[in-house]
Amino acid sequence: MIKVGIVGTTGYAGEELVRLLLMHKEVQIQWYGSQSYIDKKYYEVYGNMFGLTEDICRADDLAEMAKQVDVIFTATPQGFLASVLTEEILSRVKIIDLSADFRIKDISVYESWYQISHKAPQFVEEAVYGLCELNREAVKTARLVANPGCYPTCSFLAVYPLAKAGMIHMSTLIIDAKSGVSGAGRGAKTANLYCEVNENIKAYGVASHRHTPEIEEQLAIVSGEKTVLNFTPHLVPMNRGILITAYASLKRKPDGSLPGQEEILEIYRTCYEKEYFVRVLEEGVCPETRWVEGSNFVDVAVKTDSRTGRVIMMGAMDNLVKGAAGQAVQNMNLMFGLPETEGLRLVPLFP
pLDDT at 185: 87
**Is 159 domain-assigned?**
yes
122 lies in the same domain as 162: no
209-222 pLDDT, tens digit per residue, is: 999 999 999 999 99
Give me the percent of the chain exceeding a pLDDT of 90: 97
Total domain count, the chain: 2
- pLDDT of residue 227 exceeding 90: yes
pLDDT at 48: 97
284-336 pLDDT, tens digit per residue, is: 999 999 999 999 999 999 999 999 999 999 999 999 999 999 999 999 999 99
Burial (CB count <10 Å: 0-12, 13-18, 19+), residue 111: middle
25 lies in the same domain as 110: yes
169-224 pLDDT, tens digit per residue, is: 999 999 999 999 999 888 878 988 999 999 999 999 999 999 999 999 999 999 99
**Is 345 domain-assigned?**
no
75 lies in the same domain as 177: no
Query: What value does the mean pLDDT take over residues 72-97?
Result: 97
pLDDT at 184: 86
3-class SS of residue 183? helix
**Is 234 domain-assigned?**
yes
Query: For residue 141, which of 325, 335, 323 has the smallest C-alpha distance?
Result: 335
190 lies in the same domain as 312: yes
Containing structural domain, residue 216: 151-319
20 lies in the same domain as 54: yes
pLDDT at 230: 98
**Is 138 domain-assigned?**
no
What Cα–Cα distance (Å) separates residue 66 from each residue in 21, 31, 69, 94, 147? Answer: 18, 10, 6, 9, 19
280 lies in the same domain as 158: yes
- Helices 150-165, 212-223: axis angle to 10 degrees equals 20
Residue 13 backbone phi and psi in degrees, to 5: -65, -35
Name 53's Cβ contacts closer than 8 Å, sequence gap at least 6.
Answer: 18, 22, 29, 32, 42, 43
For the chain, what is the total number of helices (H) and then of strands (E)?
12, 14
pLDDT at 191: 86
6 lies in the same domain as 102: yes
48 lies in the same domain as 111: yes
**Is 347 domain-assigned?**
no
104 lies in the same domain as 200: no
CA contacts within 13 A on the Cβ side of 133 = 25
Catalytic one among 57, 132, 150, 154?
150
150 is catalytic: yes
162 lies in the same domain as 207: yes
CATH number at residue 71: 3.40.50.720
121 lies in the same domain as 182: no
DSSP code at position 250: B
Neighbours of 165 (CB within 10 A): 17
